[in-house]
Structure 1
Amino acid sequence: MIKKLIYVSVLTFAYGLSYAQIDSLKMNVDLRTRGELDNGFKTLIPKGKSAETTISSRARFGIDYYYKNLQIYLSAQDARTWGETSSTSTKNQNFTLNEAWAKYQFSEKISLKIGRQILSYDNERLIGAVDWAMQGRNFDALKGVFTLSANSKLETVVTYNNDDNDSNDLPDKEIYNVAEAGEITKSLQILHYQFIGKDKFQFSAIALNNVLQNPSGTHYDMLTVGINAKKYFENFGLFGSAYYQAGKNTSAQSKSAYQFSVNADFIVNSKFNIVLGTEWLSGNNYDTAIEKNKSFSPLYGSNHLYNGFMDYFYSGTSYFNSFGLNDYYLKSTFKFNPNSTIQANIHAFTTNGNLGHDKEGKDLSSYLGSELDLVFAQKFGKFVTVNLGHSFMFSGNSMEFIKNVSEPKNLQTWTWLALKITPNFRLK
């Protein structure tokens, strides 16, 4: 009798799981709060200016519905800085629709996804979710996914942008003027191939074309192509990337730029590893002709993951279409236990392009400065994580030049404390 009861229970449970894949409803919640002490975040703080304290938060929830070959996902969020709106405000300008898309699986190998969605490829160097920023990043897009084999797939993406008021549009032009990464993108087309092989081998290739719109309404194409590769052996790994940009940017400048990175990961033991690497992003020289642009743009990448956590370059700054960057770094991670880790990263920054001369006619040094990032992470249970970070920027004279700060403090620092709660559960 007991065996029969167990058998029936197992069958009922298995049937429930099978049915859940046909008709199921899931929910995820993302609650974040981060306090920051800014004494040199993103730019140099001049002498005499006090450090600034801010607290920001995100409240995001998503509903994921499956029915046979159809998947529908809706995600809304409120992202804000504490105190930016009155406690009695009648309007909430911070509540937005983060994602809203439908995906249909035509067969085992072909699916189509349409709507507001996150696009993320290749460790988010060129395009990603920008999850560090409370608001994140998303696109209104149409995406096709083609499974070529058990180890490879191809994705295609198309976006089209316009404003909601065409009263100022000329008959033969559709104006769109929202700029990101220093460019005004009217349409975006992506072709991405990914292969995952044996022994932790990964390879991917991407072609990303931006149809850019000059304020006059004229359109230009700027094409970025690149590859990413990763290979791990027993206690050692190599990974890197290479990209090239061509065409014209929004300002009608001829684009010829590159990105290159190479990294070596030394796994000392199960608790400790060291990554030694460099990344070069090409840049303009001080005497580059006005009609040319040699500065590589990481466009929609999650730049906070790369050139230092203090975000002095590219991430939310005006450094795009500038002197470029050479980043030489040593990164290390130590695990105290499965729930506690500490990360220490050291970066040395130089410009890729020539800065020119100072007021006295002396050559400006390419050295910008060095950064030390320390982050401690502690997990509490399955859904709660606390992070404590502290960073130092040891700037050189040329950093003062590119940031246009003549008398900065001797030491630039940034401290942050973050709480993240991310439960997931099934509603049906």
Structure 2
Amino acid sequence: MKRNLLTTLFLSGASFILLQHTASAQLSVTGQLRTRTELRDGQGSLPAEDAKASVFTNQRTRLNLGYNTSRYRFLVSVQDVRVWGADQSTISNLEGSKLFMHQAWGEMILSDSTTINVDNLSVKAGRQEIVYDDARLLGNLDWLQQARRHDAIVLKFSNKGWAADAGFAFNQNHGKDTPGKNGNVYNGTPPAPVVPGTNGIGMMYKSMQYLYLARTTKFGKVNALLFKDDFQKTQTIAGVTTPAEGVNSRITVGGALFATITDALKLNAAAYYQGNNDRFGNTLDAYNLTADAAYSYNKLTINPGFDFLSGNNTTKQGTVNHRFDPLYGTPHKFWGYMDYFYVADPFGVDGNAGRSPGLVDYFIRNRYKASDKLQFTLDLHEFYAANKIADSELSPTGKAATTRRLGTELDVVANYSIFKNVAIEAGYATLFATDNLNLLKAPATTKQERGQWAYLMLNFTPDFLAR
């Protein structure tokens, strides 16, 4: 009886403290459970002639704990990602942990009315998502169940429509200073079957530094980005490649405009240049251009535009790499839901991303908001190579391509909010490919001319302290 009374008193006290925090909007406890059942029949790469479609369900389970005061902010986000049935009922020690820290950061606020009188001046350190604007080059890749995060420190400033962020990261495999484990050498390529990155880069950066500037007005937003990521050099001895001293540095610079012309018309444009060296140390000279317009009429929004990502003339080998890499953004959002370009699966002659001819994407995205709960999207993409496509010893015809056309993709999505914090989403995508696309997706063997993919997703996003 005494133990029960103490337990009751403890729980009552904890509940009282929790409610007090909630009332002052300091403590937040939210979560997510997102299941996605997929049918894949050529998602990511064209299916082989005798391939059969696969069906599976993957799940993300996430718990977020946040705490805000006038002097600091704090967030811990833990998530578990797995495919249903991948674990035995009793997990062996060889299975490994799928529970990992998605975010864990603290943000120290340096500005208030008694110090520097600006909207915000703060320092944010720890594991965090880095997302800017439309997530083209820097995004959290939320579509992927694992998502993306960085171990970094970011100095953040904003005041009266101006914003400036400076970010820094330095990666290491361990914290030891022992023979054979030099603290200056970083192995950024994890062992198989883990696939590093989502843009075919195959290696995590050793360090990165960036500066982001933005100005927001009633007419829209304009920004500029300077981003440098450094990759550990490698050496090959007796056929074995290992990390070596020094880094190869890649520099990306550019900006974007998000303009509101009228309530019904918006225009977006961006231009970025990549130079210095790629991760292998080759001279880099690449660029990305994009523009689109969005016109809304009643419940319908029509959004035509184009993307141009430079690439290499794959009919001949050169010493300069012209392949533009979309850094750490969200390829799934821009270049088709089938994920044929700039994801983990290589896009280039014989599957060599270094021999990628780049990409031109002419698209028209359509959104129809039937109600506050129901929305439909219909996207159409027409893909071309940005440069000449070489022949290949693995090509079914053994001949060079006569055109640059890669194929046509159609994406259809329906999203319905069942009630607050619970939504269901269904999608279907199909791609009609040319022989060129078969050639550029590894392995370049005889494949079907069409790929398709469908999914059904249930998304719970509870706010545990909401009243």
2:201 paired with 1:190: no
Deviation at 1:351, TM superposition (A): 0.8
2:304 and 2:439 mapped to 1: Cα distance?
29
Deviation at 1:17, TM superposition (A): 9.1
Q: 1:160 to 1:86 in 2, by over 3 A?
A: same
Report the counterpart of residue 267 of structure 2 in structure 1: 238
What are the Cα deviations for residues 333-366 of structure 1, in whole angstroms up to 9, with x where unaligned?
1111110011000000011121124656554421
Q: Which moved more, 1:353-362 or 1:205-214?
A: 353-362
2:463 paired with 1:424: yes
Q: What SS does the aligned partner of 2:145 have? A: coil
What are the Cα deviations for residues 49-80 of structure 1, in whole angstroms up to 9, with x where unaligned?
11001110000001001233111111101001
Q: 1:141 to 1:288 in 2, by over 3 A?
A: farther
Q: What code does the residue aligned with 1:307 have?
A: W
Residue ranges of structure 1 left out of the alignment (5+ in a row): 1-15
Q: 1:412 to 1:209 in 2, by over 3 A?
A: same
2:146 and 2:218 mapped to 1: Cα distance?
37
Q: 1:345 to 1:357 in 2, by over 3 A?
A: same
Q: What code does the residue aligned with 2:344 have?
A: G
2:27 and 2:181 mapped to 1: Cα distance?
46
Deviation at 1:177, TM superposition (A): 2.3
Q: Which moved more, 1:340-349 or 1:77-86?
A: 77-86
1:362 and 1:290 mapped to 2: Cα distance?
18
Report the counterpart of residue 212 of structure 1 in structure 2: 231
Report the counterpart of residue 116 of structure 2 in structure 1: none
2:452 and 2:342 mapped to 1: Cα distance?
19
2:380 paired with 1:369: no
2:163 paired with 1:129: no
Report the counterpart of residue 155 of structure 1 in structure 2: 165
Q: Does the Cα contact within 8 Å between 1:161 and 1:176 map onto a contact in 2?
A: no
Q: What SS does the aligned partner of 2:439 have? A: helix
2:403 paired with 1:392: no
Deviation at 1:425, TM superposition (A): 3.8
Q: 1:18 to 1:346 in 2, by over 3 A?
A: closer
Q: Does the Cα contact within 8 Å between 1:157 and 1:189 map onto a contact in 2?
A: yes
1:43-82 matches, within 5 Å, as 43-82=45-84
2:251 paired with 1:223: yes
Report the counterpart of residue 11 of structure 1 in structure 2: none
Report the counterpart of residue 373 of structure 2 in structure 1: 339
Deviation at 1:165, TM superposition (A): 7.1
Q: Does the Cα contact within 8 Å between 1:329 and 1:348 map onto a contact in 2?
A: yes
Q: Does the Cα contact within 8 Å between 2:316 and 2:390 map onto a contact in 1?
A: no
2:391 paired with 1:353: no
Deviation at 1:164, TM superposition (A): 2.1
Q: What code does the residue aligned with 1:384 have?
A: V
1:75 and 1:42 mapped to 2: Cα distance?
29
RMSD: 2.1
What are the Cα deviations for residues 196-221 of structure 1, in whole angstroms up to 9, with x where unaligned?
1013x111111110111122323121
1:110 and 1:165 mapped to 2: Cα distance?
31
1:18 and 1:134 mapped to 2: Cα distance?
29
Report the counterpart of residue 24 of structure 2 in structure 1: 20
1:143 and 1:42 mapped to 2: Cα distance?
34
2:462 and 2:101 mapped to 1: Cα distance?
20
Deviation at 1:170, TM superposition (A): 6.8
1:291-310 matches, within 5 Å, as 291-310=319-338
Q: What SS does the aligned partner of 2:440 have? A: helix
Q: What code does the residue aligned with 1:283 have?
A: G
**Structure 2 residue aligned with 1:273, among 277, 284, 301?**
301
2:421 paired with 1:383: yes
Q: What code does the residue aligned with 2:215 have?
A: F
Q: What code does the residue aligned with 2:218 have?
A: K
Deviation at 1:173, TM superposition (A): 3.7
Q: Which moved more, 1:284-293 or 1:103-112?
A: 284-293
Q: What code does the residue aligned with 1:47 have?
A: E
Q: What code does the residue aligned with 2:135 have?
A: E
Deviation at 1:18, TM superposition (A): 11
Q: 1:65 to 1:83 in 2, by over 3 A?
A: same
Q: What SS does the aligned partner of 2:436 have? A: helix
Report the counterpart of residue 146 of structure 1 in structure 2: 157
Q: What code does the residue aligned with 1:48 have?
A: D
Deviation at 1:313, TM superposition (A): 0.6
Deviation at 1:151, TM superposition (A): 0.6
Q: 1:171 to 1:160 in 2, by over 3 A?
A: closer
Deviation at 1:262, TM superposition (A): 0.5
Q: Which moved more, 1:256-265 or 1:406-415?
A: 406-415
Report the counterpart of residue 16 of structure 2 in structure 1: none
Provide TM-score, normalisation by structure 2.
Answer: 0.83
Q: Does the Cα contact within 8 Å between 1:356 and 1:364 map onto a contact in 2?
A: no
Q: 1:19 to 1:184 in 2, by over 3 A?
A: closer
1:244 and 1:422 mapped to 2: Cα distance?
38
What are the Cα deviations for residues 191-246 of structure 1, in whole angstroms up to 9, with x where unaligned?
001211013x1111111101111223231211001111111213211102111000
**Structure 1 residue aligned with 2:447, among 385, 400, 408?**
408
Q: Does the Cα contact within 8 Å between 2:264 and 2:295 map onto a contact in 1?
A: yes
Report the counterpart of residue 5 of structure 2 in structure 1: none
Q: Does the Cα contact within 8 Å between 2:434 and 2:449 map onto a contact in 1?
A: no
Deviation at 1:408, TM superposition (A): 2.1
Kindly, what percent of the aligned residue pairs are identical? Answer: 26
1:418 and 1:168 mapped to 2: Cα distance?
50
2:181 paired with 1:164: no
1:262 and 1:185 mapped to 2: Cα distance?
29
Q: What code does the residue aligned with 2:295 have?
A: F
Report the counterpart of residue 174 of structure 1 in structure 2: 185
Deviation at 1:90, TM superposition (A): 4.8
What are the Cα deviations for residues 172-199 of structure 1, in whole angstroms up to 9, with x where unaligned?
8423323534144110111001211013
